Chain A
């Protein structure tokens, strides 16, 4: 290869420049005149300008570049095994990868699919190569992550949970939250989904926390595989962000789009905050054993990437086009993270529900407490006793924590929009949509369901907008079921037919493991059913007021 290059230099053979190559390639398209393409994925937006491709790339340089990236990734995985990575890896961390890697391949491939939706909408062909590359990139991300997960399954001490991964993805409440993230990329108004929600918000704002913060924490826990894979994934994102920005710029000059843009920037930001911060915040803060006080907390990372890089640098400049930015939501999301303990309450909920999951969650310990109190003053007063209870109740034979009234935890309502439970009690709200009552974690989520995902928006018809559907409250699926029967149905039972896949600890001896017999006799119920049974008016209002007061964890001695 290098020989040819040198020879070329000697004979001074000029090729076509990359910019000119990109120009010629973008002239491959034409406007059909015999048969019109059907607009099968409609949008309510008007795309009046031809989006420009800032990247000027062609596939003949793309494929070799990506193959080279792959070679580095697979080389690093081999090296990690030769270096005996799993001897020193922290199981606390790898356990959370059972959840994270169950979710993420589907959002990735959904992003590939959504390129079909923007591909045909964009006038002109300049961005076509960009969309093609993104489509193939996302195919790369999805399958390279399936490969990483298989690799953990083959080499980590406890493969249970990895072995059922895509089945678990379909059944677990936590993975459904991740699916809300993904289905949003490819369903409903094509621009809302594939441009604003996926590219302008999820990729531009939130992939740094996903694909940069996660790898750093992985490395602190002896996991060198995840960083290799995910930093390689992230290296493709700048192209995707470029695609999204070009599309946005092709629409922003038309004031008739502004109302929809404002709706979608707001919806997308709030959903991403509710979902990504819940999940990634938990992985980073609770999945780690590293308690170095000099490292940045999730709140600090959020401030840098979401507040500074996205909000101040990317979003605020949109104001000069006349777009009203949802400043209040950004401030509110920040408050939820630093003042209202959103991440801590999510981790607490995950652990309360350990026996409905498919991975292990161990208790936080004194060393962890100290770090949390240092980074989040007041943490210990609110969560210290809880985690002591959790440790105490981790032995099989104890009453399982989700049904243990000694603790004082009150099982939450579920948010109909983001599908994370309504954990910040004071923000809990409800509303009626098409004659039915729903519960929400926040005003932003109430607005998303009732106002944004509807047939009209502020008096303007929005015939292309999607709708929320499906059995969005997980608890309702198992209403009235015995805990043990539900676990069998979920498939969260190990190969001996009785030991649970999830465990509330990292003890790897059979005698320490919970079985179906330890959880039998508890009945699951749907909080929403109970809430809907309340009479509208005083009775419902009283329940809301009571819920908003929250609960107190009993002291644990």
Chain B
């Protein structure tokens, strides 16, 4: 610190010399959302560059039709500033692995403890069949959303949008595997449990065909934002939560099953985070000063289209509510909660619920 001109400054540590810029110890090339930059923002903002922000030489490879490496044309939505979006859950790699790993540990703990105490054998027989056929079918819906979001994370116009989509995909794919392995392992304690039945129901059972159609419509959408919004604003409240919360979580305990709700609860928590991110993005776009009206109209169109499919999917699921031996909640109650939920979500972002 008190180096005289004669002594050679050897330390490479901060503060060992003072000169222009020697105290510039913050990323200074972007505007933080709040007064102070968050660690998430430092890890994320501007890593995917943009000709509007610093990309002097423009994108240097294009697709054969001239579309550059990243293009605003990949969604019909418009924004006066795509870079404004920040994910509400603030995930970067470390927080993502910590959360995913915690859930994996929790799920495995649930499975081990349940099996150790012989819990699966105490499940009501009708309920076991419900888990086998219907939870087994539903896991494919989660997988479809995961792969669809994996596709979508290539297209967003900023790093913040794409990383939020990527972590959403990661959560969905983990949950689809959670369900697969949970059913496989409790199945080991249940004599004639058929682990292939779920997929057969997914592909063939009329109860699930509406859901499969709704999922395939999301997977087949070519607008990444349509995929993201249809997943979190429409399918999740109308079908995903309806089945997870409105059926599995409500019914399980009365059928002697305390394990399944713990596994499914993780997905409910995942969804709260992904919903918050989606609402933030949708709100930004529907309230855009220049393009708010255009986006609102566009999103209402998506919601109407995917909403109709999701409603039909939900209606097809109704017979499942009468399959457990002990009936503690009705389809109508669950559906009403789902409708209230999507009303709330849509009104938050200024959109019309289907």
A residues adjacent to B (C-beta < 8 A)? 1, 4, 7-8, 11, 13-16, 20-21, 24-25, 27-30, 32-38, 40-41, 58-61, 63-64, 66-67, 70, 74, 84, 86-91, 94, 105-106, 109, 112-117, 119-120, 128-129, 131-132, 135-136, 139-144, 146-147, 150, 153-160, 163-167, 169-171, 176, 179-180, 183-184, 186-188, 222, 419, 455, 463-472, 474, 477, 490-491, 494-496, 498-499, 501, 508-510, 513
Contact = CB atoms under 8 A, between A and B. Distances in A.
Contact of A143 (B43, B61, B139): B43
B112 A4 contact: yes
A109 B101 contact: no
Contact of B188 (A16, A24, A465): A16
Contacts of A419: 60
> A37, A84, A128: which has the most chain B beta carbons within 10 Å?
A37
Given A129-B173, A153-B27, 18 more contacts: A14-B188, A25-B177, A30-B199, A34-B217, A58-B177, A59-B104, A74-B94, A140-B97, A143-B93, A146-B42, A154-B14, A165-B29, A167-B46, A170-B53, A187-B63, A222-B12, A467-B61, A474-B56
By size class, the interface of chain B is: 35 or more
Contact of B64 (A64, A179, A455): A455
A425 to B, nearest CB: 24
A117 B25 CA distance: 38
A176 B54 CA distance: 12
Given A37-B220, A114-B154, A86 B181 contact: no
Contacts of B42: 146, 150
Contacts of B195: 24
Contact of B178 (A60, A113, A116, A160): A60
A167 B100 CA distance: 32
Contacts of A166: 27, 29-30, 45-47, 49, 54
A495 B146 CA distance: 45
Given A70-B94, A170-B49, A183 B61 contact: yes
Contacts of A70: 93-94, 97-98
A467 B62 contact: yes
B31 interface: no
B16 interface: yes
B13 interface: yes
A496 B18 CA distance: 13
9 contacts: A59-B177, A63-B101, A63-B174, A88-B12, A156-B12, A157-B11, A163-B24, A183-B59, A510-B19
A109 B60 contact: no
B180 A34 contact: no
A176 to B, nearest CB: 5
A464 B57 CA distance: 24
Contacts of B115: 13
A495 B108 contact: no
A509 B17 contact: yes
Interface stretch (B159-167, B241-249, B279-287, B296-304): B159-167
Given A25-B180, A119-B150, A494 B20 contact: yes
Given A37-B219, A59-B104, A170 B56 contact: yes
Nearest to B181: A21
B54 to A, nearest CB: 3
B21 A510 contact: no
B13 A155 contact: yes
Contacts of A87: 11-13
A59 B188 contact: no
Given A109-B159, A183-B59, A467-B66, A154 B25 contact: yes
A202 to B, nearest CB: 15
Contacts of B93: 70, 139-144
A12 B263 CA distance: 23
B69 A186 contact: yes
A136 B149 CA distance: 13
Nearest to A476: B57
Contacts of B105: 1, 64
B68 interface: yes
Nearest to B156: A113
Contacts of B109: 4
Given A13-B115, A140-B93, A30 B153 contact: no
Contact of B213 (A35, A143, A455): A35
B96 interface: yes
B134 interface: no
A119 B17 CA distance: 51
B48 interface: yes
B166 A474 contact: no
Contact of B177 (A60, A146, A163): A60
Contact of B60 (A105, A176, A222): A176
A12 to B, nearest CB: 11
Nearest to A69: B97
Contacts of B217: 34-35
Contacts of B48: 106, 109
